[in-house]
Structure 1
C-alpha cells in the first residue's frame, strides 16, 4: 500500500483527495489541516465519489506527522505558509518524502524559492507544481499543431478571472507551448488600486503584463469589468487559435480554413489520481518540475510585489497573493 499525504484540506486539497481516491491503486492517505471544519468538508467530499480501490484508507489529522515515509505529498496550503509548512514537514518533523506536488502560487517571498529548492535538492526529493493546463487534451493537441521555427504570440484576455492568483497558470502554459522558461519582463501596465481577495490579507490586480522568451511573446490582460470572461489566443505563422475557456470552445483558423473544436478542461478531481499513479510507478509526471516553475514564478512575483507595494505605499517583503 502506497502512502499519500495531503496538507491542506480546503477547496483544492479536498479535490485532490477526491482525485486520489479515484485511483485504482491501494492508497493509505493522510489528510492534515488545523481546521476541523476543513477536515469535515474533505471527509464529506470523499464520500461523494466512488473509490477506485475500496481497500484504500484515509486518516484525518490536525497536526503534521513525524518520522514517517510518504511516496507522495501534496502541499495545498495557502501560499503565505507553504514554505514554512514544507520546512516543518521535512526538517522539524523529519518525515521522508519521495515526491512533492506544490500548489500555486508557490511562495510569496522571493527568498523562499532558493531556500526550498536547496532543501529539496539536499534531501533528493523530486518536486512538481500543479499547473495542470499542460495536461489538458486541448492544450496538448494545440502544442502538436505549433511550428516553433516561427514566433508564437499568445494573448490571454478577460475580466474577473483572478489575474494575480491565476496568471501563473497561463505563464506556465506559454512556456509549455514554446518549450522555454527563460522569460523576460516586457511592458507592464497595471491599473491603480487593488482588489481585496476572497482570502483575507491578499489582493487581486487588473491591467496587463507582457513577457517574452526569444522571439515568442505572451500578453496577459484582465479588465475591471465584473462579467467573467477568459479567452486564450495563440498566433503562429498563418494559424490563429482562439480558446474560450468560459464557453469551452476552440476555433482553429489556418489561412482561409476555419474549424471549431471543443475545449476540454479537466477538473482537479480528474487529475490527481493519474498524477499520483505516474509518480508511484515511474517517478515522473506531466506537471511542471519545481525548478522550471520557480524560474517562471520569480519574474511574475517580482512584478506583482512591486505593484502591490507601490499601491499600499510600503515596501513589502511578501507578495500578498495566493
Structure 2
C-alpha cells in the first residue's frame, strides 16, 4: 500500500485527513503526526465521520513513529514558524515523492531558498496549497482570461488580510502567467494586530500589486464592520462578481450584451479538495496548484516589501514574516 503522511492535525490538517480517507479507489497507510494529543483526538473524531474503512490510519506524536521510509504523498499543515524545520526533518528520514505545503510557507526569508534547494536535491514534487486554482470557476477564469489585461478587486472586513492575500494574489498570478509583481503597501495600516493564531499577526488596510502587463489586484481589508468579502474581476470584455459567502457569482460580458447572469459557485471544502489532488496524482493528471518555485516567487514578491513595512510597527518582531 502507498504511504501517506499528514503533519499537523489541527483544523486544516484534520480536513486533509477527512478528504484523503474518502478516497476509495486504493487503500493507503495514513500516518497523522502532531505533538498535541488534543489535536490528534480532534483529527480522529473527524476521521471517524468518513465512512470508508479501507485505509490503515496511525496517529502519532513524532516523525520517529513513522515506520515507512518511502512516502507517496505528504501534507505539511503546520504553522509557518516550524514548517521549514518539519520539512527538513521529514526529508532526513523519509523519501517523499509528492509534497503539499500550506501557506504562508515560512517566516524567515532565507528558508525559501534553503527549502527550494533541498526539494530539488531530494527530487521531491512539491506544490503549495493556494487552492483557488482547484475551484472549478476560478480554474475556468485562469484558462479563459489568460494573458488578458485585468483588474482584480477584493474587499471585506477583518478577513485576515495577509493570510488570505496570498490566495487572491496567487489566483491573479495564474491569470497573468507571471510569478512576480510590484507590491504597493503604502496604504496598509502601520500597526500589527494579533492573529487568531497565537504568536502571529495581521495587518489591515490596502494592498496593491501590479503585474508586468499593468494588470492590477487591489485587496482592501477594513479593520471594523461585518462587510462580507466580495471579489470583482474585470477585463475589457467580461466582468465577474463573486459572493463566496452566498456561494454565488455574477457574470456579464460582450457575449450577453452586458446582461448579468447569476450562477452557482459550488465551492469545494478542503475536506473535498485534497481527495481530488490525490486522485489526480494517482491518475498522472496535471496538478492545478502552483509548484514550489512559482509559489516561492509569489510569496517573496509580497513578503519582502511587507518586511520593510513592519519597520513602521512599534512591536518587537522576532521573525521576518510573522504571518501564517
> Which residue of the partner structure matches residue 320 of structure 1?
322
On the 8 A contact 1:164/1:304 being kept in 2, the answer is: no
TM-score by length of 2: 0.93
Tell me the secondary structure at the aligned position of residue 253 of structure 1: strand
TM-score by length of 1: 0.93
> Which residue of the partner structure matches residue 277 of structure 2?
275
Classify 1:228/1:78 alpha carbon distance in 2 versus 1 (closer, same or farther; 3 Å): farther
Map 1:154-233; keep pairs closer than 5 Å: 154-186=152-184, 188-215=186-213, 216-233=215-232
Taking the aligned partners of 2:99 and 2:57, their CA distance within structure 1 comes to: 19
On the 8 A contact 1:147/1:236 being kept in 2, the answer is: no
On the 8 A contact 2:127/2:290 being kept in 1, the answer is: yes
Tell me the secondary structure at the aligned position of residue 182 of structure 1: coil
> Aligned residue pairs: how many?
317
- The alpha carbon displacement at 1:300 in A equals 1.3
Taking the aligned partners of 2:130 and 2:15, their CA distance within structure 1 comes to: 15
Q: Which runs of 4+ in 1 moved over 3 A?
A: 313-317
On the 8 A contact 2:192/2:315 being kept in 1, the answer is: no
Query: RMSD of the alignment, in Å?
Result: 1.7
| 2:150 aligned with 1:152 | yes
Deviations 1:125-173 (A, max 9, x none): 110001111111111233344263x411111111121102111011111
Which consecutive unaligned segments of at least 5 residues does structure 2 have? none
- The alpha carbon displacement at 1:193 in A equals 2.0
On the 8 A contact 1:104/1:131 being kept in 2, the answer is: yes
> Which residue of the partner structure matches residue 20 of structure 1?
20
- The alpha carbon displacement at 1:315 in A equals 6.2
On the 8 A contact 2:142/2:171 being kept in 1, the answer is: no
- The alpha carbon displacement at 1:280 in A equals 3.5
> Which residue of the partner structure matches residue 265 of structure 2?
263
Map 1:1-322; keep pairs closer than 5 Å: 1-24=1-24, 25-51=26-52, 54-65=53-64, 68-91=69-92, 94-146=93-145, 148=147, 150-186=148-184, 188-215=186-213, 216-255=215-254, 256-282=258-284, 284-312=286-314, 314=316, 316-322=318-324
Classify 1:249/1:283 alpha carbon distance in 2 versus 1 (closer, same or farther; 3 Å): closer
Which consecutive unaligned segments of at least 5 residues does structure 1 have? none
